[in-house]
Amino acid sequence: MIAAVATSSAADGTFSSSRMEQEVTMVVKKCPSCKNVVSWESYCCPRCGIEFRALRRRRILLVLSLVALVAWIVHKYFTR
Tens-place pLDDT, residues 28-78: 888 888 989 998 888 888 899 888 888 888 889 999 999 999 999 999 998
Give Cα separations from 21 to 3, 7, 26 (angstroms).
20, 8, 14
Tens-place pLDDT, residues 39-49: 888 888 889 98
Any idea where the domains of the chain sit in the sequence? 4-78
Strand order across the beta sheet in which 15-16 lies: 15-16, 4-8, 24-30, 37-39
Is the entire prediction scored with pTM above 0.85? no
Report the relative pairing of strands 4-8 and 37-39 from DSSP bridges. Answer: unpaired
Q: What angle do CA 57, 62, 63 make, to 5 degrees?
A: 100
Contact 36, 44 (CB under 8 A): no
